[in-house]
Amino acid sequence: MSSTELPGVRSTVAPPSSAGAVRLADGEQLRTAVLPGLELAVRVRPPQRADLPPALFVHGLGGSSQNWSALMAQLADTVDGEAVDLPGFGWSPPPADRDYSVTAFARAVIRHLDAAGRGPVHLFGNSLGGAVSTRVAAVRPDLVRTLTLVSPALPELRVQRATVPTALLALPGVAALFSRMTQALSAEQRTRGVTELCYGDPSRVTPEGFRNAVEEMERRMALPYFWDVMTRTSRGIVDAYTLGGQHGLWRQAQRVLAPSLLVYGGRDQLVSYRMAHKAAAAFRGSRLLCLPEAGHVAMMEYPEVVAAAFTELLRDTGAGAADRDTEDGRG
């Protein structure tokens, strides 16, 4: 249920404040979507053609839109891609209501799509973003053309040992304790720990990418709301895991109508590899891509493989052609 910043991108735009710099891959732009009580930073890769169908990418806990840069580049000639920074993450400020539940994040995604008029989109989600995207696809099927989930954070009876700190973070007072216990750790040490947790093979991270991730870690740790966001989001994930009935994430997975691609990593320390077949059974007619060497962020480790699987999904289901036909019809 955690994520890290994408290695291998460079700083091209200075942010409004002096705290760090926005890192954009070649061809990317960062814009701000302003809605009542909500402000979202959106990473945009302008489409190579005017007829490309829209896509939206949603990151995991502790991550940002930057986590999707590699996959967006791979799909630059396939979709018109946008990646959102969830409220309180990346360059998005906290929401006015300080609600960091899975439902609130799903509501933010829905509000953004409704305001932008981009739906239906090819929706991608990783980890927490996978849970958020599942909820969006279940409650607003009109907004989702296809659903691609990378290590989605769906409830497990036997949780991974590495997820215990995230669950503990949801308890009152634990965030302050974690902060005191880890205050001696440098940004480099923290970044190395996150990389080892999220990557199946941490050596795939380039030296430049690691330096960039350390800088981003320093920026985020300096934010006055960092621990509050992490605490409340962790609590929101735990709450979502305990919901039953129609609001349960597994029940909502069964309600998803869009063609779905599920991606799981064999070395994932945060979402169990054994959940892959349960997920494939829950999402009707879904496709399953298992990558034995991948960790929690397969779209960052193996973007070309994930892109190929998504392109195959479009080809075999006709979803890409349907998007273009719909846009042509609107015109």
Q: Helix, strand, or coil here: 42? A: strand
Q: How high is the pLDDT of residue 246?
A: 80
Predicted local confidence at residue 166, as pLDDT: 53
Vertex 271 angle, CA 213 and 273, to 5°: 120
Confidence at residue 25, expressed as pLDDT on a 0 to 100 scale: 87
Q: Which domains does the chain have, with CATH numbers?
A: 10-324 (3.40.50.1820)
pLDDT given at position 296: 95
Closest alpha carbon to 131 in 64, 219, 58: 58
Region of 98 please: left (phi>0), alpha (psi -120 to 50) or beta.
left
Q: Tell me the C-alpha distance between 137 and 282, whole Å.
A: 13
Rounded to an integer, what distance in angstroms lies between the CA atom of residue 8 and that of residue 327? 34
Q: Could you read off the pLDDT of 289-316 as tens digits, one per residue? A: 999 999 999 999 999 999 999 999 999 9
- The whole-number pLDDT of residue 243 equals 80
Q: Which residue ranges of the chain lie beneath pLDDT 50?
A: 1-19, 164, 167-171, 174-175, 177, 322-331
pLDDT at residue number 158: 59
